[in-house]
Chains A and B, each alone.
Chain A
Amino acid sequence: MPNILMPALSPTMEEGKIAKWLKKVGDPVKSGDVIAEIETDKATMEVEAVDEGPLTAILIPEGTENVKVNTPIAVIGEADALSPPALRATSPVKGEEKSGAPPLSSPLAGEVASRSGAGGGPTPTDPEIPAGTEMVSMTVREAIREAMVEEMRRDKDVFLMGEEVGQYQGAYKISQGMLDEFGPERVVDTPITEHGFTGIAVGAAFGGLRPIVEFMTFNFAMQAMDHIINSAAKTLYMSGGQMGCPIVFRGPNGAAARVAAQHSQDYAAWYAQIPGLKVVMPYSAADAKGLMKAAIRDPNPVIFLENEILYGKSFEVPKLDDWVVPIGKARVARAGKDVTIVAFGIGMTYALAAAEKLAAEGIEAEVIDLRTIRPMDIATVVESVKKTNRCVAVEEGFPQFSVTSEIAAQVMTHAFDWLDAPVARVAGKDVPMPYAANLEKLALPNADEVVAAAKGVLYV
């Protein structure tokens, strides 16, 4: 007789609570009947039966918490079933389509956790935070939302537009609650027409507004590339300085988990190549909030690259009325004297984890979070390299013609005489992102590659 197993109702779910049984033992169950309600960390969802037959036994009573995925929770049907136990979820959680870590039972277990894992380690105090400031823990998702909300309260010309930003509360729930506060004139749901709505937003910016354009993911911004580059980035120059374009293009960028080649690209290097654009890619929630506020106030088009895996990660954020982090300034995230590791965005997770591993072997790495890709704060990098004489640059994007190749070139130009080894680079592999779990893992950089690169430049 088939068991009904505790279903994974989102890729990140590992356990849940049986909130309610909607069928009793002995009740007939038809395919499609809702048999139970299950609470995950994010939502309450209904579970439908696939198999038919009487509910023979309930193995886990309602109210039970922390039931692990794939635990048998009930038994259904007669003994002869052609198909094995079946369950299906009609709901889960957050965004469009989720992503994040699959349940522990899958071959990817632990992978995403390590990619978004806490960096730890001693962090020098950020000079921008006044002493005695209270810190609050918040996720990157909340930080980006707070920044947008604060700026929209401050300036009536700021508005948000994009697919599913309003009624659906954001494909990745970044704009949750914003429609309620600001109404449909300022939180604008668009059709799936990236080229069209980007053109309209750029026109609105020419007309004096300050649009924030959410791309559901930056993969879809390729549809809008012409307006981002030919219209937003170049018009100021072509108009002899008359036609500025104060606009923020934002959304998740880079690999999530198992969404394959068309949904996994990191575009940092693409945009960073264009004069007229600024490109920001924060790692921590504090930087996400402060840089988002700076981006909205900036009179230029700013590409704000977020990361889906970082959205749910919590960081300390200073509790200040107006926390603004300047665009174009890197941050020393961890001090060290032996080797400089330069990273940004999710690359920081590998850099910080590597620094931790290196510390265990007595190697002190200095980790620099670039935060802004364009304009790049190469001075902070060079200053560090003059101290350590060695440099490893890390990114998740493709390796050729990349952000790290630019870092290598800049360091060579500005710190050649201080280098004791060629700059080493760790990047995504030079292949389209594969779907298979094992190949995806190989395609992405990891902390061990950063450790190996650091040892390489130290010749140890």
Chain B
Amino acid sequence: MVVKSAYMARKAGTRDKSELKNSGFTPEEEIQAYSDMLLIRRFEEKAGQLYGMGFIGGFCHLYIGQEAVVVGLQMAQEEGDQVITSYRDHGHMLASGMDPKGVMAELTGRRGGYSKGKGGSMHMFSREKQFFGGHGIVGAQVPLGAGLAFADKYKNNGRVSFTYFGDGAANQGQVYETFNMASIWKLPVVFVIENNRYAMGTAAPRSTAMADQLGARGGAFGIPFEQVDGMDVHAVKEAGDRAVEHCRTGEGPYILEMMTYRYRGHSMSDPAKYRAKEEVQKMREEHDPIEQVKARIIKGNIASEDDLKKIDAEIRVIVTEAAEFAQGDPEPDVSELWTDIYVTA
């Protein structure tokens, strides 16, 4: 069969939504999930490399290991649904269909970046792709995401807001203020808790009561919740379908607690001394989201090793081009220092 990466397919606008409603993946969906996850992984590896070379400054939080969460949920979304998340946002942007060049150029602080170089890794947005950031303050995106859903409901536009946050963010009080309001007002918001078991150097049980039951906290507000194997893109997508169905039929919010894992340190300068190397190794070997799909593809004769290598090569080209663009693009014009502070009529 002809293998075409999902990234290219999406750019060409060929995705057929009705197909995605089936449980279990079609061969095309398997390939799509594989390519979308691989794009994120390769992009993040490249970002790590550019950080090491001094092209990216400040904080840079990689998404490696968690790819199945955004990719699976993206497959459950429809055009027009909104996404909002924390500073660990590169994967969400790529999954939303944002251009890797624009994302990478923002990481290097260049004029072709999504925020013209003024936001950086943690603060990037695309209204066109309904991606609402990129937020540096832990937990702040949770009420903001519910606000997007408030607007959706107000406008009765049938859209759903996907509001992502971490296990650490789950301890911020504003999360529960938001749960309460989302519930009483039946806001169409899917709260996605990316429980990667660490908040910086703190293992979740050290800071969090019932640390593996974060979704259940929504139960007190009458919000339905599910715990999902966030390393398995099938499970993610299926749970996403249920959540979306609930929201779109006007039933109010839904919580998905994604059990996932980040392979790298919290940010580029975290030595990750707080966890055993074996723990990371075990996750990579036994639960890697990309390897899981790859194994299914090979086993189901959907594509050959060679086909998959071709996809990898194609993705590497996309990522290399993004990196080249991000290194060669000029810094913003100095006049940009004074723009975008107020909207001028």
Q: Within the assembled complex, what's the spacing in Å between the Cα atoms of A105 and B108?
A: 13
Nearest CB of B to A32, in Å: 7
Contact of A90 among B45, B208, B272, B331 (CB under 8 A): B272
Main secondary structure of the interface of B (DSSP, over half): loop
- Flag if A263 contacts B136 (CB, 8 Å): yes
Given contacts A196-B173, A258-B109, contact A436 B118 (CB under 8 A): yes
**Contact status A8-B54, CB under 8 Å:** yes
Query: How many angstroms between the C-alpha atoms of A163 and B115 in the bound complex?
Result: 30
Q: Which residues of B contact A434 (CB under 8 A)?
A: 117-118, 332, 336-337
Q: Give the residue name and chain of the A residue nearest to B281 (CB).
A: A32
At the interface, is chain A mostly helix, strand, loop or mixed?
loop
**Minimum CB–CB distance for B335 against chain A, Å:** 10
Question: Which residues of chain A from 9 to 24 have any CB-CB distance to chain B below 8 Å in the complex?
Answer: 9-11
CB-CB under 8 A from B172, the residues of chain A are 192-195, 223
Q: How far is the CA of A258 from the CA of B171 in the complex (A)?
A: 27
CB of A69 within 8 Å of the partner chain: yes
Residues 50 to 107 of chain A near chain B (Cβ within 8 Å): 50, 69-70, 82-84, 86-99, 102-107
In the bound assembly, the distance between CA atoms of A437 and B202 in angstroms comes to 31
Residue of B nearest to A168 (CB): B201
List of B residues within 8 angstroms of A99 by Cβ: 58-59
Q: Closest approach, in angstroms, between the C-beta of B180 and any C-beta of chain A?
A: 16
Instruction: Bin the interface of chain B by size.
Output: 35 or more
The answer to whether A435 and B109 touch (CB under 8 A), given A69-B54, A91-B271, is: yes
B54 near A97 with CB under 8 A, answer no
> Once the chains bind, are B200 and A96 in contact (CB under 8 Å)?
yes
How far, in angstroms, from A430 to B341 measured CA to CA in the complex?
9
A residues less than 8 Å from B109 (CB atoms): 258, 435-437, 439
Q: How far is the CA of A8 from the CA of B55 in the complex (A)?
A: 10
Interface contact A105-B54, CB-CB below 8 Å: yes
With A8-B54, A168-B201 as given contacts, are A83 and B46 in contact (CB-CB < 8 Å)?
yes
| Bound-complex Cα distance A196 to B208 (A) | 13
Task: Indicate whether A45 reaches chain B with its CB closer than 8 angstroms.
Answer: yes
A438 touches B331 (CB 8 A): yes
B268 at the interface (CB under 8 A from A): yes
Judge whether A125 is part of the interface by a CB distance below 8 angstroms.
no
Give the number of residue pairs across the A-B interface with Cβ within 8 Å: 216
User: Is the CB–CB distance between B136 and A260 below 8 Å?
Assistant: yes
Instruction: Let me know if B206 is at the binding interface, CB within 8 A.
Output: yes
Interface string of B38-60 (1 = CB under 8 A from A): 00001001101101111101110
Q: Are A262 and B137 in contact (CB under 8 A)?
A: yes
B54 to chain A, nearest CB (A): 4
Point out which of B122, B171, B271, B341 has the most chain A C-beta atoms below 10 A from its C-beta.
Answer: B271
A43, A97, A432, A436: the one within 8 Å of B267 (CB): A97
Interface membership of A356, Cβ < 8 A: no
- Which residues in B have their C-beta under 8 angstroms from that of A414? none
Shortest distance from the beta carbon of A297 to any chain B beta carbon, whole Å: 31
Contact: B45 with A50, CB < 8 Å? yes
* Cβ-defined contact, B54 with A432, below 8 A: no
User: Least Cβ distance of B78 to chain A in Å?
Assistant: 31
A11 to B51, CA, bound (A): 9
Is A136 interfacial (CB-CB < 8 Å)?
no
Contact with A along B208-229 (1 / 0, CB 8 A): 1000000000000000000000
Chain A contacts of B1 at CB under 8 A?
Answer: none
Whole-angstrom CA separation of A105 from B317 in the bound complex: 25
A167 on the interface (CB 8 Å rule)?
A: yes
Interface residues of A (CB under 8 A from B): 5, 7-11, 31-32, 43, 45, 50, 69-70, 82-84, 86-99, 102-108, 163-164, 167-168, 171, 189-196, 219-220, 222-223, 256-263, 429-432, 434-439, 442-443
B residues neighboring A (CB under 8 Å): 42, 45-46, 48-49, 51-55, 57-59, 106, 109-110, 115-120, 122-123, 135-139, 168-169, 171-173, 199-202, 206-208, 264-272, 274, 284, 313, 316-317, 319-320, 331-332, 334, 336-338, 341
Instruction: Jot down 26 A-B pairs with beta carbons below 8 A, ordered by A.
Output: A5-B53, A8-B51, A8-B54, A11-B57, A83-B42, A90-B264, A90-B272, A94-B269, A96-B200, A96-B267, A168-B202, A168-B274, A191-B202, A192-B138, A192-B207, A223-B137, A223-B139, A258-B120, A262-B123, A263-B58, A429-B338, A431-B341, A435-B109, A439-B109, A439-B118, A439-B332
